[in-house]
Amino acid sequence: MKKQSIIFLGAKSIGYQCLKYLIENAARLHLDIKGVLANEKAHIGSEFSLRELAMQNQIPFIESLDDMLSADFIYSVQYHLILRKKDIEKARITAVNLHMAPLPEYRGCNQFSFAIIDNKKEFGATVHLIDEKIDHGDILFEKRFPIPENCWVEQLYSLTFEASLKLFKESIDDLIGQKFTKVPQANLIEKRGTSLHLRSEIQNLKQIDFNWEQDKIARHIRATFMPGFEPPFTIIDNKKFTFVKNGNKKIVCTVTNDLNFDQRMIRICSSLQANGYDVTLVGRVRKKSKDLIPKSFNQKRLFCFFDKGKNVLY
């Protein structure tokens, strides 16, 4: 059987794992991997370098889209650039993208955060045709799963990672064999809805307003607290206060100056308690004043001490 050719575009650990599976199964799939393009700035540690994985397996590493040759298939997984018409046309059969979100509901970026903020009950991953618009092409394959109650963005990402890798493995044979039905996203919008979000929107999502309803406050915190990224925050008296995660316990407030307990701080703690989190907020009593009075919410101990110029967490 004549081999078909493929160009792989990817980034991050999901791109690495998909490429690794493709390499391991290339002979069975009768595939010639003609080249790899990657966003090297996006890999997490050298162990997830697509460049190194390609070189270890004698696969050409392509530096830019302009250098990409024609192939039967182009497959993109978390690649950082939008393909132009001339790039897409280099795929003789088809060009596809593995999008880590359900379509057409969540196109673009920050899909995990918006799903939690929108209080969605279902999420997933989608393989779709690439056109010149963002995550817009016909759907070929998809996998969906329920979102756990009180889900945090880190958990939703992990679940989507697993679903995405599984979808890639389960659908690659049918993709190469062209055993799929194209479903235009326009046919699904009335039933599923649609949105397009940009990377720049995440900063606005992270700013917490204590005047919001308690459930909204909790959802925004769960939707935007992700290890390795700037945490959610609030502004009080022109000062920025960030929320941090302490071990396996959920939320405390880190401050950079003295802070009296007020209704806004009590409200956020009450909101978290109402949503099932263990919260105790303890204030450090000043030497000359007792206006920092400990407020306990009758849960397991989670301490945040307010001390000028220090952040002390236990």
- Tens digit of each residue's pLDDT (9 = 90 or more) over 242-266: 876 654 444 444 433 344 545 566 6
Q: Is the pLDDT of residue 45 over 70?
A: no
Do residue 160 and residue 120 come from a single domain?
Answer: yes
Contacts for 297 with CB less than 8 Å, ≥ 6 apart: 269, 270, 273, 279, 280, 281
Structure tokens at 233: 């925050």
Domain of residue 245: give its range.
Answer: 207-313
DSSP 155-197: HHHHHHHHHHHHHHHHHHHHHHTT----B-GGGTHHHH---EE
pLDDT of residue 299: 31
Nearest to 12 by CA among 121, 140, 109: 109
Residue 140 and residue 158 in contact, taking contact as beta carbons nearer than 8 Å: no
pLDDT band at 227 (very low <50, low <70, confident <90, very high): confident
Please report the pLDDT score of residue 230 as a whole number: 85
Residue 221: how many other CB atoms lie within 10 Å: 26
At 281, give phi and psi (nearest 5°).
-110, 120
Is there a single domain that holds both residue 156 and residue 80?
yes
Helix 153-176 / helix 12-24 crossing angle, nearest 10 deg: 30
pLDDT tens, position by position, 35-44: 999 987 654 5
Domain stop point among 138, 162, 197: 197
Work out the angle between the directed axes of helices 214-224 and 263-274 (0-180°, nearest 10): 80
**Same-domain status, 256 and 294:** yes
In sequence order, the β-bridge partners of residue 76 are 9, 97
Average pLDDT, the chain: 82
Report the pLDDT averaged over residues 299-311.
34
Is 178 in the same domain as 46? yes
Q: What is the pLDDT of residue 132?
A: 92
Q: pLDDT: is 272 or 203 the higher one?
A: 203
Comparing 145 with 40, the larger pLDDT belongs to 145
Query: What pLDDT does 286 receive?
Result: 41
Looking only at Cα atoms, what is the longest distance across the chain? 85
CATH number of the domain bearing residue 142: 3.40.50.170
Listed in sequence order, the residues at least 6 apart from 63 whose beta carbon sits closer than 8 Å to its beta carbon are 37
Predicted TM-score of the model (pTM): 0.78
The strand pairing partners of 280, in sequence order, are: 296
More confident residue, 282 or 148: 148
Question: Do residue 215 and residue 185 come from a single domain?
Answer: no
Q: Do 22 and 149 belong together in one domain?
A: yes
| pLDDT surpasses 60 at 126 | yes
Whether 69 and 11 share a structural domain:
yes
Assigned domain for 92 exists:
yes
216 shares its domain with 191: no
Same domain for 189 and 211, yes or no, is: no
Residues 40 and 148 in one domain: yes
Among the three residues 197, 221, 253, which one is the final residue of a domain in this structure?
A: 197
107 and 248 housed in the same domain? no
Closest CA to 75 of 18, 124, 23: 18
Is residue 202 in some structural domain?
no
Give the chain's domain count: 2
pLDDT at 115: 97
Q: Are 142 and 273 part of one and the same domain? A: no
